[in-house]
Amino acid sequence: MKNISFLFVLMLFVSCANVEQKQIREIEILENDLISDTTLILSVDKANKCIEKYIAFANKYPEHNNSPGYLYDAAKVTEGLNKAYDAIKLYGQVESVYPQSDYAPKALFSKAFLLDEKLNQDVKAEKLYIEFIKKYPNHELTPSAAQLIELLYLSDDELKERILNKNS
């Protein structure tokens, strides 16, 4: 009886691993389809399908090594579809669910950048850039965050002047 129980548990484990690997393969196919599109125009249907697969995998297998990256990629593709608020929510999930991952700092920076560039919410963007600098003082994006804070409240004319002065 013990042997039968062991075999059942083993088969269940192998079956689950196969489902997991199948889902990873489906995601890889969708990613390749998005990336290899020679028109350089993001197909909304393909992008949405990819986003759904990323999120479903991360929700089903939250402890899997791929999950933080898939959730981050879901946010990036969502951003590519010009859905800034949805992307910000997904970046927030990356930060809260996977705070120790390499994707957490990039997610925080991306949230600030979207608030700044796409949504023109300078005060909120500044707050997140400052949070980023405090949390990740040695991150490669920290100098960019500091520079973006300096540029946040400049008018278009002031920005042009600054660029011209820098190039002379």
pLDDT in tens, 2-48: 555 544 443 444 444 576 787 777 776 666 666 655 666 678 888 89
Between the alpha carbon of residue 98 and those of residues 46, 70, 77, 145, 159, the distances in Å are 26, 12, 19, 21, 36
Dihedral, CA of residue 98, residue 101, residue 103 and residue 104, to nearest 10:
60
Contact by Cβ (8 Å): 91, 99: no
Q: What is the pTM of this model?
A: 0.80
Between the alpha carbon of residue 119 and those of residues 79, 87, 116, 124, 144, the distances in Å are 12, 12, 6, 10, 19
Q: What is the pLDDT of residue 22?
A: 76
pLDDT higher at 140 or 22: 140
Q: What is the pLDDT of residue 36?
A: 56
Contact by Cβ (8 Å): 102, 72: no
Distance from the first to the final alpha carbon of the chain = 83
Q: For the stretch 14-44, what's the b/e string if a residue is b when 16 or more beta carbons lie within 10 angstroms of its beta carbon? A: eeeeeeeeebbeebeebbeebeeeeeeeeee
**Averaged confidence pLDDT in the chain:** 85
Across residues 94-116, what is the average pLDDT?
Answer: 97
Across residues 73-93, what is the average pLDDT?
Answer: 96
Q: What is the pLDDT of residue 75?
A: 97
CATH topology of domain 2-167: 1.25.40
Tell me which of 27-31, 119-123, 138-142, 162-166 is least confident: 27-31
Residue 89, C-beta contacts closer than 8 angstroms, at least 6 positions apart: none
Contact by Cβ (8 Å): 27, 53: yes
**Span 109-129, pLDDT tens digits:** 999 999 999 999 999 999 999
Tell me which of 32-41, 66-75, 106-115, 158-167 is least confident: 32-41
Q: Where are the domains of the chain?
A: 2-167
